[in-house]
Each structure stands twice: as C-alpha cells, then as structure tokens.
Amino acid sequence: MNILQACESPLLFAPWFKKRENYASWFAFLAAFFGLPMSEDQLATFKHHTGRTEAPKEAGSEAWLIVGRRGGKSFVMALVAVFLACFFDYRQYLAPGERATVLVIAADRRQARVIVRYIKAMLTGIPSLALLIDRETADSFDLTNSVTIEVGTASFRSTRGYSYAAVLCDEIAFWRTDDAAEPDFAILDAIRPGMATIHTSMLLCASSPYARRGALWDAYRRHWGKDGAPLVWKATTREMNPTVRQSVVDAALERDHAAASAEWLAEWRSDIEAFVSRETVEACVSLNVTERAPANMAYKAAVDPSGGSNDSMTLAIGHKEGSKAVLDATRERKPPFSPESVVEEFCSLLKSYGISSVTGDRYAGEWPREQFRKHGIQYRLADKTRSDLYRDLLPLLNSGSVDLLDDDKLINQIVGLERRVARGGRESIDHAPNAHDDIANSVALVVEMLNPSRQAPVAYSGVFHTVY
C-alpha cells in the first residue's frame, strides 16, 4: 500500500481528510516525493510548484518544501513520519538490538508538541497502528517493528548516533542554537551519516522562507526548477491550504508587506541581511583565552538584566589597551534563576575587578538599580539603544579594534545578528527569530563604554581674519 492509498482508506488516514479537495496540492506533492503515478491535474500542480517538466519516476530520497505559514506542513510531516514508521520493514538494515529512527526535528518545543499531538492522534486513533505501539514517552514512540518515532528540537549534538529511516525537518529556516552559527547546515551534516546504512531513508525539510541564506535558501537556489534529486517544492499558503481566508493574507500584506510576503506568499525576504561575517569576528578572538584575571587596569562593566523567567542575564567586563577594547570576562545565567542571587554573584565579580559601577538598559525600571545599590554597585543607564550599539560595534570589528574572548556562544550570537530595514526605511540590528543576543548585547555595551563613538564635528560661525 502506498501513501496515497493509505490516505484514501477509511481504516487508516482518510478521517483526517474530510474535504479531500482542500488537500489536492498535498496529494500531488506526496505523489511526486514517493514516485507515484499522477493525474493530469496533479502533474500540472507538480510543474507549477517545482518548475520542472518531468515527473519523478521513482521515490526520492530528499525533498524541500518552501510553503507559507498555515499551509499544513507540520501535519504532513507527522503523516509522513507515521507512514514511514509503520508501513516499512527496516530490519534487514539493522544489527541485533538496533532500532531504525524516524526523527522529526522542530524549531522549538512548542512546535515539537504540535507534531507530537498529530503523531499520537494517528497512532492511537487508528486501531491497526495502535497495535504497533510498544512504549510511549513524552516525545517518542517505540513500535514493535524495531522503529522509533522521535520528535526533538534543533541540536546537532543530539542527532548523532542514530540509524535513520527518515528525518523530517520542520521550519528549518528558523532553527537557532547558541552552539552553532549555522545550525541547519550543522544538523544536516550530523544527520546524513546516520541515513547512509538504510538505503530507503528519506530526508524531508520544510519551512516558510526567511532571509536569503541557510540550507533552505541554498536548496532552492541550486535545485528549484531542475530535474533530478532533490525535489524542491515552493507554494503559497493558500495554494496548499485553501481554507485560509484571502482577507487574512491581504490584511497581513497591508500591515507589513515584506514579512507577510515571506509568511503567506513563500517569498524570500530581501529586507534582511547578515550583520557581520564569521571570519571578521573570529579575527578579533584571542584563541584559547576564555577569561583574563584581574590586573592593575581601569575596568568597565555592562549588564543585560533579566527577570529570570525568559531571557538570560549577562555581564561583560573589559578594559582599554591603546586603541583596542579588550574583553576580560563574561557571565551568563540562564533562566530560571533568582535575579537577586545573580545580582549578588555579579557584584562579587565586579568588586574583584575593582569596579564600583555597572551600565545597563532601562529594563524593569528602578528594580535593577536598587538591587545593585544593595551591594555597593552603582547602576548607570546606557545612552544608546541595542541597535545603535551593534551599529557602532561593526567598524571596530572590521578594523580589529576589539579583542574578544574565545567563547563560541558569544561568537555565534554576534554572527547571528541581522540587519533589517523597516517600512519607513529605518535600519535596525537585532537577533533572528528564535535566537538570542544577551551576551552579545552586554559585550557591545562594554565595548562602547571603552571606545565611545566619536562626536560629530561642531561647526563654528564668526568673522575670520587673515594674518600676514
């Protein structure tokens, strides 16, 4: 039984397709990916969304879906995961005791929970598939046929060591981690060796588009409109899910055309670009130096405060050597934490460097100032916004006027910053969606304190006389 037949069977997936006409484009995609015969309408849909002239004659091993939000990507990911886990026998590729894994990778835990619910509903709601469930956890299902369906979040370290029957990557354009500057490429590189031993393994990556970079953009740029593997499919939200009202799309386009074009029309954003190259940042790093002990220097410090529930609270300490701003120490405390305890810890470190004041933003009004004053540290307010701090940091990075610590998280946060142009033409610099910049923010502030940007020239008027 192929996947389209399974979708038609009332004993299997048919209850999930109450109005089959709403899923016509998805059935065309599944026919293409699994190398199944297509109707004339499906072939026309295939050509429109792939830019190709010939339909695949056999199942593919890799496909990329560039589809707008609410297009049905997560549901189809779950459907494909359950089908590949339950309807194939991979034991010929496995050693005794080994299990084949169907891995679904989501951008974050919230999205992972959505996919888990879809998978659980299919496995438990279809009696013949429920018999295959051997063990169930919060994010995985062990089946009696030596297959495990597992749902996780993006991490290249946790994806090693598996034998993959299939890997399905959801919202890959929005994967962000602090342990890799390019987590999509890093995770795919970690996954591919695990797919090598199961010859029928499949890789399916899906996302709404974002900036013109990363693995999704690379696949589109190199393979869309070209016959052969991999298959690249690009479609708007309403082309894949006509139940989304056009008025919703129109209203979003009116509010923010650039963002809505990406989210609903699956168009790449042209208003976002990288802030700085990794090579430029790494050229400013002192290799193997993770912290500099206190010495007889005039130190300055910056803090990025947090309430302890969402963002990290960070601290950066530095000094000036000639024309160079030198970073001496950083601290990060991830949530959850007690803000009072972290302030006490930070103040102890500040005093060890002979620092009596720290600079930070206006977060939470008087609270941070009061907490630091309790420990004898004056809290001063920063003059510049986060975006302005990053803008002033860039020329210092380009000229090598900053000496950074060898800290992968700091490097990745700086490299991950983005330039964005708002509707009024104003440029801003900030972290990408799902990313963080807490350490980078405190470092940019302390660098500004050590090397304040030059004041604009002052014009004078008056009467000038030539002296002979």
Place of tokens 């693995």: 215
Domain ranges in the chain?
Answer: 3-270, 278-450
Per CATH, the number for 278-450 is: 3.30.420.240
Quote the pLDDT of residue 466.
44
Structure tokens at 222: 């190199």
Report the half-sphere exposure of 436 (CA within 13 A, side-chain side): 19
Question: Which pTM value belongs to this model?
Answer: 0.78
Quote the pLDDT of residue 461.
40
Quote the pLDDT of residue 181.
59
Contact 13, 122 (CB under 8 A): yes
Q: Could you give the angle at which helices 386-398 and 438-450 cross, rounded to 10 degrees? A: 70
Contact 50, 42 (CB under 8 A): no
Quote the pLDDT of residue 468.
41
Per CATH, the number for 3-270 is: 3.40.50.300
Quote the pLDDT of residue 231.
95
Peptide bond connecting 339 to the previous residue in cis, omega within 30 degrees of 0: no
Q: Amino acid identity, residue 106?
A: A
| Each residue's pLDDT expressed in tens, for the chain with a length of 468 residues | 999 999 999 999 999 999 999 999 999 999 999 999 999 999 999 999 999 998 998 999 999 999 999 999 999 999 999 999 999 999 999 999 999 999 988 888 788 888 989 999 999 999 999 999 999 998 899 999 999 999 887 776 667 778 999 999 999 998 876 555 568 888 899 899 999 999 999 999 999 999 888 899 999 999 999 988 899 999 999 999 999 999 999 999 998 888 899 999 999 988 888 889 889 999 999 999 999 999 989 999 999 988 767 788 999 999 999 999 999 999 999 988 888 999 999 999 999 999 999 999 877 667 888 889 999 999 999 999 999 999 999 999 999 999 999 999 999 899 889 888 766 667 789 988 878 899 999 999 999 999 875 443 433 344 444 444
DSSP class per residue in 296-323 = SS--EEEEE---SSSS-EEEEEEEEETT
Computed from CA positions of residues 364, 365, 366, 372, in that sequence, does the dihedral angle turn out positive or negative? positive
Sheet holding 357-360, edge to edge: 378-381, 357-360, 300-304, 313-321, 324-333, 402-403
Dihedral over alpha carbons 455, 398, 437, 405 (to 10 degrees)? -110
H-helix or E-strand containing 438?
Answer: helix 438-450
